[in-house]
Amino acid sequence: MKKIDVFNHIWPKPFHEALIAHVGETTDITRRSEAVPMMTDLDRRFEVMDMFGPDYQQILSLASPPFEKYAEPDKALELAQIASDSMAELCQQYPDRFPGFIGTAVLSNPDAMVEEARRNIEDLGACGMQIFTNVSGKPLDLPEFEPFFDYMGRSGKAVWMHPARGANFPDYLTEDRSEYEIWWTLGWPYETSAAMARMVFSGLFDRHPGLRVVTHHAGGMIPFFEGRVGPGWDQMGARTTDRDLAAVRKALKRPHLEYFKDFYADTASFGSRKAIEHAIEFFGEDHVMFASDAPFDPEKGPMYIRETIRILDELDVSEEVRRKIYQDNAAKLLGLDV
């Protein structure tokens, strides 16, 4: 069977050059990306991929941070176009290695976000569009982003959601920054979970029933907190007296837990077997897809791929389920031939 890695990251050479020309030098999380050879060196990427045989393939996507962290809306659009054009070209040149790519939405540019998504999907053949869990601190359920989700719900292609949170988001109200990279280790799973909740309770999926969202890192915290998410939120409003939150839950067309289970999740869990097992148990065998989050591991490429494959090969599941996770679910969602 194929092993289709649906969420790993790259900076194609034309995009990397355009980024450096714009920012001058990388810092913080952009420096982290640039320091990994596999991110920008295609030969090194091929060397790593070859370690896992000809059946290992990658769906390409850009890495953090969101464009708005370092570019104004017009420049963000320009960089997004360079990135998508470059990834599309890589897929055309190396279809056996890269059967598809995910464009990155420019939600910071509301005048262009729908057209750029359309260009990616209808002109370039993107498998879907990547968004981040907030847009310069704005939640995704604001009306200004509704046209994007409307288009994606009608497009037949999925949205890939990547967490975004930095050290400027403090862990305590008395401080002005997050310490010890808590913003990443614990903040990113929270970001994913919070964005999922805002999508559900704002009625986004009721308004756009065709919308499908892939969550990074095995669905964040949601599978681990099924009890709080399910029966706990059945009591929404009991803890709040200044507004009627029970009405929010009752306004949904289905029980809220069903919406959370409709998300897709990947297996990018940094080598955590339990995270993958929980994701399969919560989202179901048809909604979990193989992903490594390469190349952001201590070995700068092969470790997360190797460890994720080892865990999946050792899981106590049927070969049918293993095949779904490795290739069939991705092929169905992304429209790939395997």
pLDDT, tens digit, 9 for 90 and up, residues 135-163 = 999 999 999 999 999 999 999 999 999 99
Q: Is the N-terminal amide bond of 65 cis, ω within 30° of 0?
A: yes
Angle, vertex CA 116, rays to CA 126 and CA 155, nearest 5: 55
pLDDT of 52 higher than 60: yes
Contact partners, residue 60, CB within 8 Å, separation at least 6:
8, 10, 12, 87, 90, 91, 98, 100, 101, 102
Max Cα distance, the chain (Å): 59
Angle, vertex CA 83, rays to CA 147 and CA 98, nearest 5: 105
pLDDT tens-digit series, residues 258-312: 999 999 999 999 999 999 999 999 999 999 999 999 999 999 999 999 999 999 9
Q: Can you give the pLDDT at residue 12?
A: 95
Which helix (H) or strand (E) segment holds residue 104: the answer is strand 100-104
Q: Can you give the pLDDT at residue 99?
A: 98
pTM: 0.95
Q: Can you give the pLDDT at residue 24?
A: 75
Q: Which domains does the chain have, with CATH numbers?
A: 3-334 (3.20.20.140)
Contact partners, residue 82, CB within 8 Å, separation at least 6:
14, 15, 18
For the chain, the C-alpha Rg in angstroms (whole number) is: 19
Token reading at 60: 């390409």
Please tell me the distance from the alpha carbon of residue 6 to that of residue 294, in angstroms, as a whole number. 10
pLDDT tens-digit series, residues 231-249: 999 999 999 999 999 999 9
Residue 59 has phi, psi (to 5 degrees) of -95, 120
Token reading at 328: 């069939």
